[in-house]
Amino acid sequence: MKRVGFFFAGFSAILLGFASQFFSTFFYIFFRKFFNILSLNHDSFNIDTGYIMIMYSVVLIFFMGFIYHHYLGGSFEVPSVSESYNWNIIGCFLLILPATQFIAGLVQIFYNIISPQVVENYEHIINDSGLGDINIITMQIYAIIFAPLAEELLFRGFALRMFKKSVPFWCANLLQALAFGLYHMNLVQGTYAFALGVLLGYICEGTGSIYFSMIYHIMFNLWGTLITEMATKISILQGFLGLLYVIMLLASPATFLLTKKAICTRRRNLCLQQKLEYHNMI
């Protein structure tokens, strides 16, 4: 019976995310109106979605971080910057990043072929949220920094650990990725978010540290938010990225193997360190 409870608790991550968004929106609007009344300003005010999303992320980061650390056994120990195997993992991230971005682009092309209306709806959502405008600083800060931190704690920190209490890791990883995809509430973004979620779940589990999935998520969003947007305005950069996508996609089997090897090296070294610490304590 507990397994069933943990299973549904994993999907509750979606509800927790939406509840946090609702709370942050209400809080923001309430206090904007309250300060308008105090200042005797009865004019309407513009709602900055970026501020709301940053508030929502901060709420999730603190709330889910507390649950992750105190109730789910998660660790916030920062990986050592002096260990080369940690930097090897980040280096591998740079190699697989273009391939994962290219796959996200292929998803959009696929839906554009079979159902252009789906892509139009996706573009409307992106533009309405402000993510399509590189000049809206608050949305860029949210997308690149705060969203990855909050979503990693919510899905890789909370949902994945809940699912692991009811099913094996491979199944738990697929389930948390499915929840991550559904959370984005549109077919295009949800599809590649599912694929990204599978990779992030493997990174988090394989490295034994949520910081690595956070780093990759930040890198992915940075590329998709700023670099891709800049490429649409600079033709030379667009051509370079196109060539890079093709090369790295062809090399992706090798780069994924390198990433797997780097992650295994970290796990092996951590096990050796734990054994040494244990022997020193005896």
- Tens-place pLDDT, residues 224-251: 887 777 766 776 777 777 788 888 888 8
pTM summary value: 0.91
How much is the pLDDT for 240?
A: 79
Distance set, CA 190 to CA 118, 178, 183, 198, 258 (Å): 12, 8, 7, 12, 27
Q: What is d(CA 189, CA 193) in angstroms, rounded to the nearest whole number?
A: 6
Structure tokens at 10: 């994993």
How much is the pLDDT for 271?
A: 86
**Closest to 177 measured CA to CA, from 200, 210, 158:** 200
Report the pLDDT averaged over residues 91-109.
Answer: 90
* Type of residue found at 219: M
User: What region, left, alpha or beta, does residue 130 occupy, with left being phi > 0 and alpha being psi -120 to 50 degrees?
Assistant: left
How much is the pLDDT for 132?
A: 59
User: What region, left, alpha or beta, does residue 252 occupy, with left being phi > 0 and alpha being psi -120 to 50 degrees?
Assistant: alpha
Structure tokens at 229: 């947007």
Q: Please return the burial class of 77, using the count of CB atoms within 10 Å of its CB with bins 0-12, 13-18 and 19+.
A: exposed
Structure tokens at 92: 């591998």
User: Are the CB atoms for 36 and 45 separated by under 8 Å?
Assistant: yes
How much is the pLDDT for 274?
A: 75
**Closest to 149 measured CA to CA, from 210, 232, 79, 88:** 210
**H-state helical runs in 39-115:** 49-70, 84-114
How much is the pLDDT for 215?
A: 97
Evaluate if residue 155 carries a pLDDT over 60.
yes
Q: Of all residues in the chain, what percent carry a pLDDT higher than 70?
A: 89
How much is the pLDDT for 171?
A: 96
pLDDT, the chain, mean:
87
Q: What is d(CA 222, CA 49) in angstroms, rounded to the nearest whole number?
A: 19
How much is the pLDDT for 131?
A: 62
How much is the pLDDT for 212?
A: 96
- What does the angle CA 212 – CA 216 – CA 222 come to, to the nearest 5 degrees? 145
The SS3 call for residue 1 is: coil
How much is the pLDDT for 90?
A: 94
